[in-house]
Homo-oligomer: A and B are copies of this chain.
Amino acid sequence: MTYIRPAFHHPALPQNELGYTRKDYEGSISTLCAGCGHDSISAAIVEACFELNIEPHKVAKLSGIGCSSKTPAYFLNQSHGFNSVHGRMPSVATGAYLANTDLLYLGVSGDGDSASIGMGQFVHAIRRSLNITYIVMNNGCYGLTKGQDSATADYGYVAKAGHKNIYEAIDLCGLAIELGAGFVAQSFSGDKKQLIPLIKAAMSYQGFAFLNVLSPCVTFNNNSGSTKSYDYIREHNAVMSGMDFIPVKEEITADYQEDTVREIELHDGSYIRLHKLQQGWNPEDKYAVVNALHKARASHEILTGLLYINNDQMPLHQIIRLTDTPLNKLTEQALVPGAGILDQINASFA
């Protein structure tokens, strides 16, 4: 596939290195509620893809069912999208990815979609190290079906409908780390500065890159008893580090003091630079991260930032030693062993 430069752009719109403008990364008009956190995440995806100089048609965006899962229609109109069935996006993404490892896969899901009906597929996509950027737009509730508690709703939070949640929440980041996800980050839809570089880093990572983005549901879960409201998250957000994402070949400047900066080189040569690191925070130390998460949970803090990264993770196509040519490009030539071989096989059954 050769790249064809998009034509007739308004000359004033800023272009990225490939000549695309932000408009080229936008989608249809959102039908979500005004103020929904999910829309901010869509915007961050648009910005991240623009800045990353991604060719939109080289992205496949997949989702399940829910308000969150509708968002792929609201960004990257020039990418193919797949709004599958509830909770089963990971399997559809796995199939798509195996068919063509040349595309970037962006999976979008909700907390209902991933933490309840989709739990099994979520776990196994991680176990297989599916090469995907997997974003959960986590609002602690089922938006599209009108606000039921989800499995990530915190114990004791008070729903808009008035009742108190009586179950313990599933911590998707803790779970992802326990299951061996190679890239685990948490962020907040209201914090673009943090979110955009995280998305860029996730999309540059080879392997399962998980992003749990707290994303308030203004209609059903933004009330005062909520622990997923804009106010609550802002108040309880403990940023573990500032972060920059430095694309391949860009010069690395040293703006920060040595001791608080960490740079992590990804396989494609790009860098994640963490600065203003919290005391002792090392996102490559699994135990430390797990403990920090447990403690934060106990003290009602929400850790955000890049929580964990394992740069040695092998993505699925390498694990199974897939050929470089995308499987969907293989023709009869490559696929059919031929009549002669079939004769031999027949002979072995004669």
A interface list, Cβ under 8 A from B? 116-120, 123-124, 127-129, 151, 166-168, 170-171, 174-175, 178-180, 286-287, 290-291, 294, 319-320
B166 near A175: Cβ-Cβ < 8 Å: no
Residues of B within 8 A of A117 (CB): 120
Q: Copies per complex?
A: 2
B319 near A167: Cβ-Cβ < 8 Å: yes
Closest Cβ of chain B to A302, distance in Å, is 17
Q: Which of B129, B167, B180, B287 is close to A127, meaning CB atoms less than 8 Å apart?
A: B167
Alpha-carbon separation in the docked complex, A129 to B129 (Å): 29
Q: Which of B120, B128, B129, B287 is close to A291, meaning CB atoms less than 8 Å apart?
A: B287
Residues of B within 8 A of A174 (CB): 178
Alpha-carbon separation in the docked complex, A166 to B314 (Å): 10
Q: Which of B170, B286, B320 is close to A179, meaning CB atoms less than 8 Å apart?
A: B170
Closest Cβ of chain B to A312, distance in Å, is 12
Residues of B within 8 A of A178 (CB): 171, 174-175, 178
Which B-chain residue is minimally distant from A291 (CB atoms)? B287
A119 near B116: Cβ-Cβ < 8 Å: no
A166 near B319: Cβ-Cβ < 8 Å: yes
Q: Can you spell out 21 A-B residue pairs with CB atoms less than 8 angstroms apart?
A: A116-B124, A117-B120, A118-B120, A123-B170, A124-B151, A127-B167, A127-B170, A166-B319, A166-B320, A167-B319, A170-B179, A175-B175, A175-B178, A175-B179, A178-B178, A286-B294, A287-B290, A287-B291, A287-B294, A290-B291, A290-B294
Residues of B within 8 A of A123 (CB): 119, 123, 170
Closest Cβ of chain B to A282, distance in Å, is 15
Closest Cβ of chain B to A173, distance in Å, is 10
Residues of B within 8 A of A119 (CB): 119-120, 123-124
Residues of B within 8 A of A320 (CB): 166
Q: Which of B127, B171, B287, B290 is close to A151, meaning CB atoms less than 8 Å apart?
A: B127
Residues of B within 8 A of A116 (CB): 120, 124
A180 near B168: Cβ-Cβ < 8 Å: yes
Residues of B within 8 A of A175 (CB): 175, 178-179
Residues of B within 8 A of A127 (CB): 151, 167-168, 170
Which B-chain residue is minimally distant from A175 (CB atoms)? B178
Closest 7 CB pairs of A and B: A120-B120, A119-B120, A178-B178, A168-B180, A119-B123, A166-B319, A287-B291
Residues of B within 8 A of A166 (CB): 319-320
Closest Cβ of chain B to A195, distance in Å, is 25
Closest Cβ of chain B to A39, distance in Å, is 29
Alpha-carbon separation in the docked complex, A180 to B298 (Å): 13
Which B-chain residue is minimally distant from A118 (CB atoms)? B120
Beyond contacts A117-B120, A127-B168, A175-B175: 7 other A-B pairs, Cβ-Cβ < 8 A, are: A118-B120, A168-B180, A175-B178, A287-B291, A287-B294, A290-B294, A291-B291
